[in-house]
Amino acid sequence: MTRMPKFSPRPGPWLAGLLLAASSTALLAQAPPPPPPPGASPRIDAIRKAGDLRVGVLSNAPWLNENTSGDDKPTWSGPAWILANEYARLLGVKLRPVQVSHETKIPVLASNQVDMSITPLAETPERMKVVDFVIYSNTSVCMFGRAGNSKLAKINTVDGLNSPDITIAYFTGGAEENWVKERFPKAKLRGVASSGGTAPVEEILAKRADAAPINRVSWVSLNHKVKGLVAYPKENNCQSSQEKASPVGLAIDKNQPVYLNWLRQVEKTIQAKLTANESAVVEHMK
């Protein structure tokens, strides 16, 4: 790939103005800002010259969804796709999806195979060392148990689960293991081997555990399939949870300040639209 050479542009007066504009709250009510002028961003210049915006794609609901049914519906949808389309529209170029894998979704940025990776990525300290993020959502964890469990009858908050009377199950080696140990030091903990599911629901149904963690998005589907469950926090069907919260967004290669700040400004102007679309997708997942 020779489309985009490595570069480390120095922020100039134009970038200073861009950063000042980004700090204005009035921006939220304005139309998306136009792209930087020619010469301000080597990346944007290359995108315009090529006539397409290359985006790394890998399905991850509800943020980026692939239609594999073979019908006439668009192949890709979701907040990430809406945002990428807005970038392409403002740049006056075509949007070109490039299929990536879990192993390549970040390396493709440094190797210049894509201009951005829109497969939804959680922002972590490790990833922030090699890429920059445009955040538009978040992921978090809920706790759930049996609605008929007498131990849970008087518990209304996640904090209430941190008790010696409560047994919490988790997948050994799973993403929530360390968090569970730190979040519930007073509870009895039960590590189990992963069953390939999204959460150790079998432990809850078999009454070997009182509660277990689950991703807030996965909870919607589980709650629809398995009746008689209750989630914590209870508000908004667990979708407002801030437990183990992590920002989610798209990523670009580092050292592209002008490109990055323009992308972030555009995202702010359509944040409400992205949030509404995510909510609709989650509701459809039931």
Q: How many domains does the chain have?
A: 2
Higher local confidence (pLDDT), 24 or 160: 160
pLDDT digit string, tens, across residues 219-233: 998 999 999 999 999
The CATH number covering residue 228 comes to: 3.40.190.10
Q: Does some domain include residue 193?
A: yes
Q: Does some domain include residue 1?
A: no
What is the number of other CB atoms lying within 10 angstroms of the CB of residue 58?
A: 19
pLDDT score recorded for residue 27: 43
25 and 126 in a single domain? The answer is yes
b/e burial code for range 9-29 (CB count within 10 A of at least 16 → b): beeeeebeebeeeeeeeeeee
Element (H, E) at 222: helix 216-225
Could you tell me the pLDDT band of residue 74, with boundaries at 50, 70 and 90? Answer: confident
pLDDT score recorded for residue 219: 93
Q: Which two tokens stand for residue 108?
A: 């493709």
Let me know the angle formed at the C-alpha of 239 by 123 and 197, rounded to the nearest 5 degrees. 75
Which residue's structure tokens are 């829109």?
Answer: 118
Could you tell me the pLDDT band of residue 71, with boundaries at 50, 70 and 90? Answer: confident
Dihedral angle over CA of 215, 219, 221, 227, nearest 10? 150
pLDDT score recorded for residue 96: 97
61 and 176 in a single domain? The answer is no
Q: Does some domain include residue 67?
A: yes
98 and 55 in a single domain? The answer is yes
Give the residue numbers spanning the domain of 117. 13-138+247-284
The answer to whether residues 36 and 258 touch, using CB atoms and an 8 Å cutoff, is yes
151 and 51 in a single domain? The answer is no
Instruction: State how beta strands 188-192 and 65-66 pair.
Output: unpaired
Which residue's structure tokens are 């909510």?
Answer: 279
**Alpha carbon distance 9, 258 (integer Å):** 8
Q: Which two tokens stand for residue 20?
A: 């000042």
Element (H, E) at 47: helix 42-50
Query: Span 8-33, mean pLDDT?
Result: 53
277 vs 55, 71, 145, 273, 284, CA distance in Å?
Answer: 20, 21, 29, 6, 11
251 and 132 in a single domain? The answer is yes
pLDDT score recorded for residue 1: 47
Query: Span 5-30, mean pLDDT?
Result: 47
Query: Span 149-166, mean pLDDT?
Result: 96
Query: Span 260-285, mean pLDDT?
Result: 93
Q: Tell me, what amino acid is at 214?
A: I
pLDDT score recorded for residue 47: 98
Q: Does some domain include residue 6?
A: no
Rounded mean pLDDT of the chain? 90
Q: Does some domain include residue 5?
A: no
User: DSSP assignment, residue 71?
Assistant: S
User: Is 197 a residue whose pLDDT tops 90?
Assistant: no
pLDDT score recorded for residue 123: 93
pLDDT score recorded for residue 16: 46
Query: Span 107-132, mean pLDDT?
Result: 96
62 and 146 in a single domain? The answer is no
Contacts of 88 (CB under 8 A, 6+ apart): 52, 53, 94, 95
User: Is 236 a residue whose pLDDT tops 90?
Assistant: no
